[in-house]
């Protein structure tokens, strides 16, 4: 058998671990692997790279993706499906392993419906894909954000400041929630729960009344004030229609400083939380998912996605993965609320 591999969407620590696992497991079967460059652009333009054992040596600890990535949407082209079919035929491929988030796997599910053989692997630091308990990359992002909070604490305390940390999280606040809990943040703001700036400041004032004259606020880039509009957050959109986010931290900074009188500063963590070497957890998860994807392809289980469920790797329908995003529940948020004093 022969399979193609591509990585789409934002890069993510662990992508190279999946690619390596795919190549090595396929080698065990005697199968051949071809890489497509830059997400769906690769099969659309028949841009490939041979994925031999030699090509994946030493990549496990490396962030990013050796295949490159893009937010190319194959359904934005009239002949998208046809071009992908031709690329697969050209390289005598039986099917594709698509590694990506909601957009890449959404396209994979549609391609499967159109008769193209695809198996998915869930990727996103945002941890918001359905059908799986966790995505690789999330653990690394939380680790980086937590370390940032620990470092911000020292300046916040020394200078009696409020420090706002803006982290990624478009629809789901998992990174803010987990790093905020791990780093002991005083306020955590997530997209799932629009915030009231007066309540945010009241929470900070309560802390000051306890004699703690500094604070850490963690905010997801997708968090909005009550009645806020996501479309107003940024002007540029990608091929999947997503607005380029960023700036909520700065807006909070001005509001909080104006209302509390405490000097307030913002740090935007940005792509730092998406780059660099994956944690051991993400390397292992990526490896397990990559192995499962090749085994599923080998068994002809097309239209499925490798997923983590109760610590076990299972194959689930691709449609289930893209049906609904996995966002923080009230119960998830309640635990963080219970820590507030
Ligand atoms: O992949 C998800 C994500 O990390 C989102 O949290 C964020 O909005 C987006 O990627 C940013 O992507 P880009 O670097 O392409 O602007």
Q: What integer pLDDT is reported at residue 20 of this predicted model? A: 98
Q: What integer pLDDT is reported at residue 232 of this predicted model? A: 55
126 is catalytic: yes
Q: What integer pLDDT is reported at residue 235 of this predicted model? A: 56
From the CB of 244, is ligand 1 less than 6 Å away? yes
If residue 39 lies in a helix (H) or strand (E), which one and from where to where? none
Domain with CATH 3.40.50.460 in the chain: 138-274
Q: Which of 11, 38, 103, 126 is catalytic?
A: 126
Residue nearest to ligand 1 atom 11, measured at CA: 10
Q: Which of 10, 102, 136, 223 to mutate to test the pocket of ligand 1 (most atoms within 8 A of CB)?
A: 10
pTM metric for this prediction:
0.95
Q: What integer pLDDT is reported at residue 32 of this predicted model? A: 96
Q: What integer pLDDT is reported at residue 25 of this predicted model? A: 98
Q: What integer pLDDT is reported at residue 237 of this predicted model? A: 78
Write out pLDDT tens, residues 174-227: 999 999 999 999 999 999 999 999 999 999 999 999 999 999 999 999 999 998
From the CB of 9, is ligand 1 less than 6 Å away? yes
Q: How far is CA 125 from the centre of its chain?
A: 3
Return the closest-CA partner of residue 269 out of 195, 228, 219, 308.
219
Q: Which residues of the chain have pLDDT under 50?
A: none
Cα–Cα distance for residue pair 136/287, rounded to 1 Å: 10
* Spacing, Cα 325 to ligand 1 middle (Å): 15
Superfamily of domain 138-274: Phosphofructokinase domain (3.40.50.460)
Cα–Cα distance for residue pair 208/45, rounded to 1 Å: 59
* Spacing, Cα 28 to ligand 1 middle (Å): 35
Domain with CATH 3.40.50.450 in the chain: 2-136+278-322
Q: How far is CA 256 from the centre of its chain?
A: 29
Three-class DSSP category at 32:
strand
**2-136+278-322 CATH pick, 3.90.1150.10, 3.40.50.450, 3.50.50.60, 3.30.1340.30:** 3.40.50.450
Q: What integer pLDDT is reported at residue 230 of this predicted model? A: 58
Q: Do residues 215 and 187 touch, judged by C-beta distance below 8 A?
A: yes
Q: What integer pLDDT is reported at residue 236 of this predicted model? A: 73
């Amino acid at each position: 058998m022969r399979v193609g591999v591509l990585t789409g969407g934002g890069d993510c620590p662990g992508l190279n671990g999946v690619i390596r696992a795919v190549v090595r497991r396929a080698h065990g079967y005697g199968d051949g692997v071809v890489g497509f460059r830059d997400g769906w652009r690769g099969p659309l333009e028949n841009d490939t790279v041979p994925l031999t054992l030699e090509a994946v040596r030493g990549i496990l600890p490396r962030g990013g993706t050796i295949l490159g990535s893009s937010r190319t949407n194959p359904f934005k082209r009239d002949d998208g499906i046809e071009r992908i079919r031709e690329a697969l035929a050209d390289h005598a491929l039986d099917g594709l392993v698509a590694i990506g988030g909601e957009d890449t796997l959404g396209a994979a599910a549609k391609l499967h419906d159109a008769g193209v053989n695809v198996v998915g692997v869930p990727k996103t630091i945002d941890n918001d894909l359905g059908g799986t308990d966790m995505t690789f990359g999330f653990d690394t992002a939380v680790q980086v954000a937590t370390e940032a909070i620990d470092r911000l604490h020292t300046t916040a305390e020394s200078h009696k400041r409020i420090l706002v940390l803006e982290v990624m999280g478009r629809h789901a606040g998992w990174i803010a929630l987990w790093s905020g809990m791990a780093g002991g943040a005083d306020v955590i703001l997530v997209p799932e729960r629009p915030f009231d700036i007066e309540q945010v400041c009241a929470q900070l004032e309560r802390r000051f009344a306890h004699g703690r004259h500094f604070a850490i606020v963690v905010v997801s880039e997708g968090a909005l004030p009550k009645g806020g509009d996501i479309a107003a957050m940024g002007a540029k959109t990608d091929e999947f229609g997503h607005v380029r986010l960023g700036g909520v931290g700065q807006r909070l900074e001005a509001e909080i400083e104006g209302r509390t009188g405490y000097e307030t500063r913002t740090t935007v963590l940005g792509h730092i939380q998406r780059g660099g070497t994956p944690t051991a957890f993400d390397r292992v998860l990526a490896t397990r998912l990559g192995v499962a994807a090749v085994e599923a392809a080998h068994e002809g289980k097309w239209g499925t996605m490798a997923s983590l469920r109760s610590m076990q790797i299972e194959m689930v329908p691709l449609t289930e993965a893209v049906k609904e995003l996995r966002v923080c529940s009230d119960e998830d948020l309640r635990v963080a609320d219970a820590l507030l004093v």
